[in-house]
Structure 1
Amino acid sequence: MPQFTGFPLTGLDFYEDLEADNSKAFWTAHKQVWETSVRDPMQALMSELEPDFGPAKMFRPYRDVRFSKDKTPYKNHQGAVVHTSPGAGFYVQIGAAGLFIAVGLYGPTPAQLAQLRTAIDNEVRGVELENLLAGLTAAGYTLGGDRLVTRPKGYPADHPRIELLRHKSLTLSKDFGAPAWLEKPRAAVEIRKAWEELRPAAEWIAAVTG
């Protein structure tokens, strides 16, 4: 595997152009740019981070349009995930806007969602999560995920962690944009640093849903 040297800005330009012309003709004419500026650097990055976080899965660049009203054939970003439990893990993405990093529980099964809410309800586990989230949001990460409009069944409206209990998925993320280090080897250092900061949250999620 070639050494990771950064994400070339030509990759970001590729996705900006793809957003303007998401067609097979454009993709075919510019596929080599995607391969050299997006795919190959992402593979090299994942290989470099594997000893610390585990093997990664790169997502396909093609959209599944079978059940979508949006029939554009290609994704406007390239993502990769290191799973810590089914439906959960570390995530990194490159697109027109630059670098995006996250951890979380993205598509829980009903059983996992029940496990998550049981842990949030617990006075020890729930407070532990609250403290983790407080520290990470103070460090600049954004708490996200799909949420119920109302409270989940079985939990009182005045529960001290009702806002967390409303979550149907749970993520922590940060948009880094396109800093000068993105196209340099330092990008691997910064991504590793972010994932390490997020590791306690990833481990908490894996422990209660894995």
Structure 2
Amino acid sequence: MTFSGFPDEGLVFYEGLEADNSKSYWTEHRHLYDQHVRGPMQALADELAPEFGTPKLFRPYRDVRFSHDKTPYKTHQGAVLHPEGQGVGSMYVQVSADGLQVSGGCWRLQPDQVERYRRAVDDDLRGPRLAAEVERLRSGGWSIDGDRLVRTPRGYAADHPRLALLQHKSLYASQAWEPADWLQEPTVLERVRDAFRQLTALNRWLADNVGATTAPPDRRR
């Protein structure tokens, strides 16, 4: 399947799901999800894969086991692309009734990765490179997010020049566009590809300085 855009029917499907997040709505409209949401997202991810890595589409079902919100279905479709052999640093694209979102970076780090991340941020060569990259993205309209401590990490000075980065336990950049006619066109591919390329340097820094976790699988919580 060649990517040709996200049909308006897909966004309308999500508007309906937000209003009626029930099994009956899902069953009745599942064909719209498959045809106008999941199908186009898979096609987009497949076209991005040669440059940005193996794609994975997320399931539409929410994990409600530990959530107060028991609605069964996600109101967005996301896909993540991760280069083979790169321990950390991924690209993400999402479509919903709110439009299109792209992100890149790391959404969750294990304790050993957080430790390496902070050592690199503290380093007088590697730290300023990340700070400059984050500032470049922020100046270009990207939001910089991630889990953060409210206090100064243990072992670091409260007046550290990169304290804000040291407080991060994960780090990613995001940009979003509201629904518009161009979402229904093949040009979405070029817009997402260009956005991902802007995130490449951030992911490369994370891959080079943080890398994969060494924690045993049963301790990765």
Kindly tell me the number of residue pairs found equivalent between the two proteins. Answer: 209
* 1:97-124 alpha-carbon deviations (Å, 9 max, x no partner): 0100000110111111111111111111
Q: How far does residue 83 in structure 1 lie from its aligned partner after superposition? A: 2.0
In the alignment, the residues of structure 1 paired with residue 155 and residue 164 of structure 2 have an alpha-carbon distance, to the nearest angstrom, of 14
In the alignment, the residues of structure 2 paired with residue 114 and residue 21 of structure 1 have an alpha-carbon distance, to the nearest angstrom, of 43
* 2:158 aligned residue: 157
> For residues 100-139 of structure 1, what are the structure 2 equivalents within 5 Å?
100-139=101-140
In the alignment, the residues of structure 2 paired with residue 133 and residue 25 of structure 1 have an alpha-carbon distance, to the nearest angstrom, of 44
* 1:41 aligned residue: 40
Q: How far does residue 179 in structure 1 lie from its aligned partner after superposition? A: 2.9
* 1:207 aligned residue: 208
The one-letter amino acid paired with 2:171 is L
> For residues 1-210 of structure 1, what are the structure 2 equivalents within 5 Å?
2-84=1-83, 85-86=86-87, 88-210=89-211
Give yes or no for contact 2:88–2:203 (8 Å, CA) kept in 1. no
Give yes or no for contact 2:106–2:172 (8 Å, CA) kept in 1. yes
RMSD of Structure 2 on Structure 1 (CA):
1.1
Give yes or no for contact 2:88–2:207 (8 Å, CA) kept in 1. no
* 1:12-32 alpha-carbon deviations (Å, 9 max, x no partner): 111111111110000000001
In the alignment, the residues of structure 1 paired with residue 206 and residue 184 of structure 2 have an alpha-carbon distance, to the nearest angstrom, of 32
Q: More deviation in 85-94 or 25-34?
A: 85-94
The one-letter amino acid paired with 2:138 is T
Instruction: Output the TM-score relative to the length of structure 1.
Output: 0.96
Instruction: Output the TM-score relative to the length of structure 2.
Output: 0.92
Partner SS state of residue 15, structure 2: helix
Percent identical = 48
Unaligned runs of 5+ in 2: 212-221
Q: CA separation of 1:86/1:64 partners in 2, compared to 1, >3 Å: closer, same or farther?
A: farther
In the alignment, the residues of structure 2 paired with residue 109 and residue 61 of structure 1 have an alpha-carbon distance, to the nearest angstrom, of 26
Partner SS state of residue 102, structure 1: strand
Q: More deviation in 80-89 or 25-34?
A: 80-89
